[in-house]
Amino acid sequence: MTSFLSLPAISARPIPNALFSLKTPSIQTLSISTHTPSPTTFHFNPNRLAIRSSYADAGVRDDSRSNAIDVVADVRSERIVVLGGSGFVGSAISKAAVSKGIEVISLSRSGRPSYPDAWVDQVTWVSGDVFNVNWDEVLVGATAVVSTLGGFGSEEQMKRINGEANVVAVNAAKEYGIPKFILISVHDYNLPQFLLSNGYFTGKRKAESEVLSKYPGSGIVLRPGFIYGKRRVDGFELPLDLIGEPAEKILKATENFTKPLSSLPASDLLLAPPVSVDDVASAVINGVTDDDFFGIFTIDQIKEAAEKVRA
């Protein structure tokens, strides 16, 4: 497989340089034959613009002939909807998408965030939640939906926000013909079954199943562990990177020693590497722009996808 703007390949036969052949017969004459391009044709749909034009080489020859050359450009503009776009992970995805020239619509209960970062002005902020939103205001014209929905609470609350909310979103995206759905899920921890059966994990897995069944060839499920970065909460900034970044480096440096321990029950709680929120965001961007990137992605695969975007 390959993965919050890319230009599809341009297929064209090489255009030869203009050739001028000058001869000096007994009487000095210069015969120049030029050919103007044929009319350019534009093919448009909401997200792709195709341009086709034929050109002929110009030349000065005794027998002037030229071959038509077709140049085809297929330019795709991306427009993504980020569910929970004002949250910790959602805002990182929105920021990363804006930096790549991708149009972003955020749907969240809090709407536009209060901090004054420049990228915030380039996002369309919609207040609401998936259970009562007018999808016409959000999904029309989108090329992908990215869901960061999830959270903790009572058993019923966790099933609703991690599972049911995402199922509603997946089905709405499918109904509106959105070609991709990307879900931020959770690492497959090797915890005892009684812990994995709580509303948080069962909700996440229910959402994953819905994504993969409705989008078998384009659905993306990212399974990060602990996500670190600078998280804003009620006007304060929590520097989670002060914990996550050193832990990630230590686990990377000691992975040859810790790998044999990974089979021990619940060892993932300590040994699953943390993931930068920027890596998660970059992996999402890779998923948005790379049509060959789909399926379930582990922590290491998320980091690999992020590297492709930064390369």
| DSSP line for the chain | -------PPPEEPPPPPPEE-----SS-----B--PPPPPEEEE-SSEEEEEEEEE--EE-SS----EEEEEEEEE--EEEEETTTSHHHHHHHHHHHHTT-EEEEEESS-S-SS--GGGGGEEEEE--TTT--GGGTTTT-SEEEE-----SSHHHHIIIIIIHHHHHHHHHHHTT-S-EEEE--------HHHHTSHHHHHHHHHHHHHHHH-TTTEEEE--SSEESEEEETTEEEETHHHHHHHHHHHHHTHHHHGGGGGSTTTHHHHSPPEEHHHHHHHHHHHHH-TT--EEE-HHHHHHHHHHHH-
Which pair of tokens denotes residue 136? Answer: 């016409």
pLDDT at 237: 79
Distances from the Cα of 51 to the Cα of 54, 94, 102, angstroms: 10, 30, 21
pLDDT at 67: 56
pLDDT at 115: 84
* Inter-residue contact 29 to 21 (CB < 8 Å): no
**Within a 10 A sphere around the Cβ of 271, how many other Cβ atoms?**
17
pLDDT in tens, the chain (311 residues): 444 333 344 344 343 443 333 344 443 444 434 444 444 443 334 454 444 444 445 444 445 454 554 544 445 589 999 999 999 999 999 999 999 999 999 999 999 988 889 999 999 999 999 999 999 999 999 999 999 999 999 999 999 999 999 999 999 999 999 999 999 999 999 988 888 899 999 999 999 999 999 999 999 999 999 999 988 877 777 888 888 888 888 988 888 888 888 788 888 888 899 999 999 999 999 999 999 999 999 999 999 999 999 88
* Inter-residue contact 166 to 172 (CB < 8 Å): no
pLDDT at 16: 41
pLDDT at 3: 43
Residue 172: which residues within 8 A CB-CB, separation 6 or more? 130, 135, 139
pLDDT at 88: 95
* Inter-residue contact 215 to 171 (CB < 8 Å): no
* Inter-residue contact 193 to 155 (CB < 8 Å): no
